[in-house]
Amino acid sequence: MKNLSKSLLLFGLMAVMVLSSCSKANECDGDCIFSGQDIKAEVLYLNCFSQFGLIFPHPRDDGRTIVGVPNDLKKDFQKEGAKVTFDGGFFLNELSPNPDFPDPGISMEDIYQVEIWKISGRE
């Protein structure tokens, strides 16, 4: 009976630790500037960085867009024009443009690196 009680207590503690770490996964901490949930974006290939990015309308400034450059966009979503919804944290862009494409055509102040917490496709 003691072993069962210890096992249940250990299992309960592990469950609490897992659940508390999941709730913190969607918070902006450290160097994160801002975060967003349920962001509707479109995938595009950024020649200037030689990788895929996510573009979506700026929430407070009509006519401006924000580009998030994820460090690890899942292969399933690496298709230009794909429509996605994602949650993520945004960081200052520390990527240097490819010298073959010095002018990306997008304002560098609107480009952020993004850590994707959750992503799904949409129509």
Q: What is the 3-state secondary structure (H, E, C) of 28-49?
A: CCCCCCEEEEEEEEEEEEECCC
The most confident of 3-12, 24-33, 36-45, 104-113, by mean pLDDT: 36-45
Query: Model confidence over 77-117: pLDDT tens digits?
Result: 999 999 999 999 999 999 888 777 655 566 678 899 999 99
**Domains by residue range for the chain, with CATH:** 29-121 (2.40.50)
